Amino acid sequence: MASADQRLSASEPSFWVVLGLSAVYLCLSGLFIVAPTTGASIFGIPAPGNLADAYLRAIGFRDAALALYLAGLACFSSRRAVGIVLGATVLIPVCDVALVLAVGTAAWWQIGLHALNGVCLIVMTTWVLR
């Protein structure tokens, strides 16, 4: 376990921002798991239903795991570990943008949500590692 001076502190705004991001990912994961068609419409991909819903739920499980990684790291690990995971996580929205562009059914705001997610992750990575 990291020493107290290396960990994010509950008195730091960045600690709460990381936990807030974790909560957002957890809510999104719930949406994809419980209502995959609605999740797909926000994500920017068509939701064909039936068996394909399992793939949409996989997105939800991915986001749930990410939320728990971030929350756990923010609470129990080092600032550096949180920053590394946030930085590596930028790959997810980059690939999501590529996916929805390749499918060609996404509206500008859906692509924008993924891009905004990537920008937020980059800003948060920089902030946590400062």
**Within a domain: residue 2?**
no
**Within a domain: residue 88?**
yes
Rounded alpha-carbon distances, angstroms, from residue 75 to 5, 36, 47, 68: 13, 30, 36, 11
**Within a domain: residue 79?**
yes
Confidence at residue 1, expressed as pLDDT on a 0 to 100 scale: 52
- Prediction pTM value: 0.84
Confidence at residue 106, expressed as pLDDT on a 0 to 100 scale: 85
Confidence at residue 19, expressed as pLDDT on a 0 to 100 scale: 95
Average pLDDT per block of 10 residues along the chain, 130 residues long:
70 94 95 91 82 85 94 94 95 94 90 95 94
Q: Please give the residue range of the domain that contains residue 68.
A: 12-129
**Within a domain: residue 44?**
yes
Confidence at residue 12, expressed as pLDDT on a 0 to 100 scale: 92
> Would you put residue 119 in left (φ > 0), alpha (ψ -120 to 50) or beta?
alpha
**Within a domain: residue 3?**
no
- Tell me how many domains the chain contains: 1
**Within a domain: residue 75?**
yes
**DSSP letter string, 59-104:** HHHHHHHHHHHHHHHHHHSBHHHHHHHHHHHTHHHHHHHHHHHHHT
**Within a domain: residue 4?**
no
**Within a domain: residue 34?**
yes
Cβ within 8 Å of residue 57, ≥6 positions away: 32, 33, 36
What is the rounded distance in angstroms from the CA atom of residue 120 to the CA atom of residue 28?
A: 16
